[in-house]
Amino acid sequence: MDRGLHVLLLTALATVASLPGIAAAQSAGEPAALPTQQPQVVEPAVKRRDVEPAAIDTENFEAGAFVGTVSIEDFGSSLLYGARIAYHFTEDLFAEATVGSSEAGKTSYEELSGSAELLTDSERRFTYYDLALGWNALPGEVFFGGKRAMPSAVYFTLGAGSTTFAGDDHFTVALGAGLRVLATDWVAVHLGVRDHMFDSDLLGKDKLTQNLQVSVGVTAFF
């Protein structure tokens, strides 16, 4: 037999002999070994920094001023101005301290008599100090021009304090209602009414006087 033909036959026999091993490896599901590559870890360039929360919620306090008119029973209506500070415990409940001052006019008797005055100028000073609890009863929104909406709340207050008038200090109960409109995230506009009630015997008869206040004010949250 020719030598070249003999080499070719041997090569063919070796190839056929290796086929069962290849088939067995494939049937066993052994995958071909592939080179593995480690994932690249990217280190952030920003360093971690601890954030300390504020000691208090800086949106719970509210303070501002107001101006309006107060109808002092038997003495007519007069200009009123004052200030208020409040603390909001929740979205619904708050406490407030209010101070207001005005100067009483003359009674009808003084106007008719022309000369007799019941009070001196200093005694006509009407000043009150109140502490009250408030309830935001009707939260909602106020719309302007159909495009802009501002958060709002109708609230009610009940409090007590002292009113200095006619040279005496009178224990006072104050009932109030108002509308708060948030013009910005931290500025609010208030429209309010409040009745300051205390006993007085200034005109010779002891009675419960009601002194109605109507005011507008601006406050800031901080």
Q: Which residues of 62-71 are buried (b: 16+ CB within 10 A; e: fewer)?
A: bebebebebb
- pTM (2 decimals)? 0.72
Residue 101, domain member (yes or no): yes
Is 14 inside a domain boundary?
no
- What are the pLDDT digits (tens) for 65-98? 999 999 999 999 999 999 999 999 999 999 999 9
CA-CA-CA-CA torsion sign (86, 89, 90, 93)? negative
The larger pLDDT score, comparing residue 116 to residue 197, is at: 197
CATH assignment at residue 76: 2.40.160.20
pLDDT one-digit tens code per residue, 150-186 = 999 999 999 999 999 999 999 999 999 999 999 998 9
Residue 71 is part of which domain span?
A: 61-221
CA atoms of 40 and 194, how far apart (whole Å) = 70
Indicate whether 214 belongs to any domain.
yes
Q: Which of 58-62, 92-96, 104-108, 209-213 has the lowest mean pLDDT?
A: 58-62
pLDDT in tens, 17-55: 555 555 444 555 555 555 566 667 676 666 666 655 544
Q: Judge whether 145 lies within some domain.
A: yes
What is the total count of domains within the chain? Answer: 1
Tokens of 159: 């409090």
26 assigned to some structural domain: no
Residue 185: inside a domain = yes
Residues ≥6 apart with Cβ < 8 Å to 86: 61, 62, 63, 94, 95, 96, 97, 134, 219
Under a CB-based contact definition with an 8 Å cutoff, are residues 173 and 160 in contact? yes
Confidence of residue 192 (pLDDT cuts 50, 70, 90): very high
